[in-house]
Amino acid sequence: QVQLVESGGGLVQAGGSLRLSCAASGRTFSTYSMGWFRQAPGKEREFVSAITRWGGSTRYADSAKGRFTISRDNAKNTVYLQMNSLKPEDTAVYYCAADRSGQLTTTQDPYDYWGQGTQVTVSS
């Protein structure tokens, strides 16, 4: 069982930055690939970014490329999402998720564990 807790969300002006963190419980964090998803009001949850077990590979949604950076620190059982040049359309609840397969998965179903989410609001 893995428990995930996101933090770092908040209110920021357009063009600003935020760094989200997702802390995982347990001793097996490095056996999971990790992903970030988001859900805006009235929309379905969508993929943002993913990272493999040791950070060797990453993947981004087109909307995140060039602005967001995913990273992880296995010693701290934490995955990060650095978000720069934020836009109002980035407003959403952001979720982290863990996938025991270790793959760079862009769909929700393969992920085994989910956090409760953290709200990001970008004002114009």
Q: Give 35-66 pLDDT, tens digit per residue.
A: 999 999 999 999 999 999 999 999 999 999 99
pLDDT the model gives residue 33? 97
Question: 35, 81 in Cβ contact below 8 A?
Answer: no
For residue 81, pLDDT beyond 90 = yes
Residue 7 CB neighbours (<10 A):
13
8 Å CB contact between 46 and 94: no
Residue 21 has pLDDT above 90, yes or no: yes
Integer CA distances (angstroms), 95 to 19, 58, 124, in order: 13, 17, 23
- The residue among 59, 39, 38, 62 whose CA lies nearest residue 50 is 59
Tokens 């979720």, residue? 95
> Is residue 1's pLDDT more than 90?
no
Q: How many CA atoms lie within 13 A of 114 on its CB side?
A: 13
Distance between CA atoms of residues 33 and 98, nearest Å: 6
- Side-chain half-sphere CA neighbours of 9 within 13 A: 19
